């Protein structure tokens, strides 16, 4: 299987974040459904896995994403992203800096940054070389129950001054996603409402339809 880098690394549409899972087969099956349904980006995030399992799962997810020509982003672990040749990393305020990540990663890789509810952080992230910025949580999140709440108006403000894609995250569900998109987010990051759905493929397709005409 070809593991050549992708040519189209634009961040847009449904940005699926994988759930913590020790069961690699379940993880791959769920991600396959999300991709088939229309996910445009996959982020591998597993806070419960050890280093060995993370490498195994990330490597298999990369193969799967390559089949669909969709980028795989690794949450936090830049060394893992480099080791398997993932398409990029996503960093938070307590992780490696964007400028350092840019120096460590091969050319052309994606760097995303969590900016929470801080517009200044987003401007600084863009200045340091981030390829997209993420704001949230817009709604109460089961993945991050202590996440800082964000007003939808922040996206309106950011849209005026940020040139990079904006990702909305935090408690996003099918019933509230349209508002986040309509207010200026290029992508929406979803974990629980996607991977806990009875039919992940159908749920992904429902999210994808919200971006009709925007991709």
Mean pLDDT of 165-192: 96
Would residue 3 count as lying in a domain? no
- Which listed residue (54, 114, 164, 203) is catalytic? 114
Would residue 7 count as lying in a domain? no
Rounded distance between C-alpha atoms, residue 70 and residue 129, angstroms = 21
Would residue 61 count as lying in a domain? yes
pTM (2 d.p.) = 0.94
Mean pLDDT of 98-117: 95
The answer to whether 95 is a known ligand-binding residue is yes
Per residue in 54-67, pLDDT (tens digit) is 999 999 999 999 99
- Eight-state DSSP code of residue 51: H
Burial 82-120 (b: 16+ CB within 10 A, else e): bebebbbbbbeeebbebeebeeebeeebbbbbbbbbbbe
The answer to whether 47 is a known ligand-binding residue is yes
What CATH code is carried by the domain that includes residue 150? 3.20.20.70
- List the end-to-end C-alpha distance of the chain, in Å, as a whole number: 27
Mean pLDDT of 178-184: 94
Q: Which helix (H) or strand (E) holds 44?
A: strand 41-44
93 catalytic residue (yes or no): no
Token pair 């896995």 in the structure block, residue: 49
pLDDT of 1 above 50: no
Would residue 159 count as lying in a domain? yes
Rounded distance between C-alpha atoms, residue 212 and residue 32, angstroms = 21
The answer to whether 117 is a known ligand-binding residue is no
- Positive or negative CA dihedral for 176, 32, 86, 83? positive
Would residue 215 count as lying in a domain? no
Which band of pLDDT confidence, cut at 50, 70 and 90, is reported for residue 149? confident
User: Would you call the peptide bond into 137 cis, given omega within 30 degrees of 0 as the criterion?
Assistant: yes
Of 204, 114, 212, residue with least CA distance to 166: 114
For residue 190, list its beta bridge partners: 16
Rounded distance between C-alpha atoms, residue 44 and residue 16, angstroms = 9
Would residue 158 count as lying in a domain? yes
99 catalytic residue (yes or no): no
Return the ∠ at Cα 161 (arms to 17 and 97), rounded to 5°. Answer: 50
Rg value, the chain, Cα:
16
Number of domains in the chain: 1
Residue-range definition of the domain harbouring residue 154: 13-209
Would residue 69 count as lying in a domain? yes
Rounded distance between C-alpha atoms, residue 165 and residue 189, angstroms = 13
pLDDT of 32 above 90: yes
pLDDT of 7 above 60: no
For position 148, what pLDDT does the model report? Answer: 78
The answer to whether 143 is a known ligand-binding residue is yes
The answer to whether 76 is a known ligand-binding residue is yes
Rounded distance between C-alpha atoms, residue 71 and residue 91, angstroms = 16
- Which listed residue (12, 144, 159, 201) is catalytic? 144
The answer to whether 24 is a known ligand-binding residue is no
pLDDT of 36 above 70: yes
2 catalytic residue (yes or no): no
For residue 15, list its beta bridge partners: 41, 189
The answer to whether 54 is a known ligand-binding residue is no
Would residue 99 count as lying in a domain? yes
């Amino acid at each position: 299987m070809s593991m050549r880098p992708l040519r189209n690394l634009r961040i847009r549409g449904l940005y699926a974040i994988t759930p913590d899972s020790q069961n690699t087969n379940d993880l791959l099956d769920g991600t396959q459904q999300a991709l088939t349904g229309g996910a445009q980006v996959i982020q591998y995030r597993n806070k419960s896995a050890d280093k060995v399992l993370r490498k195994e799962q990330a490597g298999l997810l990369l193969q799967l994403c390559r089949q669909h020509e969709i980028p795989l982003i690794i949450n936090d672990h830049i060394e893992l992203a480099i080791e398997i040749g993932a398409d990029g990393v996503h960093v938070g305020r307590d992780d490696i800096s964007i400028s350092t990540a840019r120096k460590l990663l091969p050319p052309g890789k994606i760097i995303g940054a969590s900016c929470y509810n801080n517009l200044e952080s987003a401007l600084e992230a863009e200045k340091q070389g981030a390829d997209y910025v993420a704001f949230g949580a817009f709604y109460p999140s089961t993945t991050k129950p202590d996440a800082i709440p964000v007003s939808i108006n922040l996206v309106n403000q950011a849209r005026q001054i940020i040139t990079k894609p904006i990702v909305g995250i935090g408690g996003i569900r099918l019933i509230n996603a349209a508002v986040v998109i309509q207010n200026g987010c290029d992508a929406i990051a979803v974990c629980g409402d996607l991977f806990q759905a009875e039919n992940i493929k159908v749920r992904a397709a429902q999210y994808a339809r919200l971006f009709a005409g925007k991709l």
